Amino acid sequence: MSDSILIIDFGSQVTQLIARRLREAGVYTEILPCTTDVEKISAAAPNGIILSGGPNSVALADTPRAPQIVFDLGVPVLGICYGQQTMCAQLGGRVEPGTSREFGRAALNIAAPCSLFEGFWQVGGQHTVWMSHGDHVAKLPDGFTVVATSAGAPFAAVADESRHYYGVQFHPEVVHTQNGADLLARFALGICGCTGSWSMASYRSRAIGAIRQQVGDAKVICGLSGGVDSSVAAVLIHEAIGAQLTCVFVDHGLLRAGEAEEVVRLFGDHYNIPLIHKDASDLFLGRLQGVSDPEEKRKIIGASFIEVFDDEASKIKDVQFLAQGTLYPDVIESISAAGGSAVTIKSHHNVGGLPDDMALDLVEPLRELFKDEVRELGRELGLPESLVGRHPFPGPGLAIRIPGDITVEKLDILRAADAVYLDEIRKAGLYDDIWQAFAVLLPVKSVGVMGDARSYEYVCALRAVTSSDGMTADSYAFSHAFLSRAATRIVNEVRGVNRVVYDVTSKPPGTIEWE
């Protein structure tokens, strides 16, 4: 795609944030692992290239390096952390293991003017940035000058203005770096000459055309979960091909209160999309009986979903395509895992996989988008805000919000407590301020006194986090009055719970999903 930035990924857990910041500036951005072949990088024809951070050491001989074509294309290059180090090493400089490491916030001192800082950082200024490095550049390649320093990095930012090569030891993509988003936007728009014309309206039009070209007059089947991703994918595909699309909604009995009914009402009645509603809750709950391990739950749910979906799909004649709500982070994770450039933190939530005998081609119209971009596309398509703005909900549903074994009784208790919690959040006008909020039914019981009698019932934990990107998060700072009100309602209205606690754990940079 023309007018784009290409990111070469060396395995940083926050590489996706670089792309997010550039997308926010209206610049289409693609991430490729550092093992990508030269032809694919050349074919991308980017306006500029960014080299990401990574967990390895450039001081070691067998660690990844940037493909030489990065420096042969004649486009601007920005190296971040590991990317800065390998760029300097490959161009004739030297990287050494650091005698003092820098992790966390650091003071950046602007030592010289630089095009990369134009408009927001001036010489002599000091700014807060986020560092995460042990090694550092010890000798610069010819043509480079130092433009910023920090206590632990004498070459915290370097530049070769004649070739438009820049390197920063800090991470401008994380929110902790002051003006970090401005720096990335300046590189893409000011130095690389991107126009900033990436928008959901243009994406919608292009995606509809691509779906029609791919599908033709064939039939498509889509697994509809009721979540944002599959819902937006279904409506987008329906707009492109109409009645050629059939959606299959497999109800595994692990949804929140009222969600199954909402899916049927919205897609079957409002959008008139052909919809098959399969209630398979007895099958799922039977297979989950006595299972405590969360990863085993995921595998059982994933495999059972595919089995039920495949059975329903086989009843529809002449289907040639399977639609999925695959997002760009899913694509990146799969590519990185295959290329070995990223560190795996946890197994992916889509653990079932497709059966070998499901001979269908994939339609994945969201595979270039991040989660918040999918929401924006949903609004562009006219989906109701109650769906588009819904908090993320994992595929395994309430199964992983009930530590230990799952029973119908526990599911009923959790649904009721979760519904009260979210109702209080909405009444307080806080729902849109929170990235994700949910209740967890803990595998412990507490002795309490309710009225004139002792009770021995479950403890319910409440969790809420704020995030701008879903990659990093902090616990939401509810007032004591709110927590007291929510806890009182849950204890009074939900039989089976006599104690409520609030989890204030934050989500560190780099983790993929908050559950």
Catalytically annotated residues: 81, 171, 173
452: CB partners within 8 A, 6+ apart? none
End-to-end CA, the chain: 35
Bridging pattern class, strands 361-363 and 245-251: unpaired
Q: Please state, in angstroms and rounded to a whole number, the distance separating the CA atoms of residues 93 and 85.
A: 9
Q: DSSP for 188-208?
A: IIIIS-------HHHHHHHHH
Q: Please state, in angstroms and rounded to a whole number, the distance separating the CA atoms of residues 9 and 173.
A: 14
**Radius of gyration of the chain from Cα atoms?**
25
C-alpha torsion sign, points 117, 120, 121, 126: negative
C-alpha torsion sign, points 429, 431, 434, 440: positive
Q: Please state, in angstroms and rounded to a whole number, the distance separating the CA atoms of residues 99 and 94.
A: 15
Strand partners, 285: none
From residue 54, give the alpha-carbon distance in Å to each of 10, 137, 177, 334. 5, 15, 18, 17
Residue 500's identity, in one-letter code, is V
The backbone torsions φ and ψ at residue 358, rounded to the nearest 5 degrees and listed phi first, read -85, 85
Question: Which candidate, 60, 411, 485, places its Cα nearest to that of 254?
Answer: 411
Would you state the structure tokens that stand for residue 118, as one six-digit string?
Answer: 């134009």
From residue 5, give the alpha-carbon distance in Å to each of 23, 38, 41, 191, 378. 10, 16, 11, 11, 25
Q: Please state, in angstroms and rounded to a whole number, the distance separating the CA atoms of residues 169 and 130.
A: 9
Q: Please state, in angstroms and rounded to a whole number, the distance separating the CA atoms of residues 76 and 116.
A: 11
Q: Please state, in angstroms and rounded to a whole number, the distance separating the CA atoms of residues 275 and 238.
A: 12
Question: Which candidate, 203, 207, 204, 237, places its Cα nearest to that of 219?
Answer: 237
Question: Which candidate, 133, 128, 125, places its Cα nearest to that of 176?
Answer: 128
Residue 182's identity, in one-letter code, is D
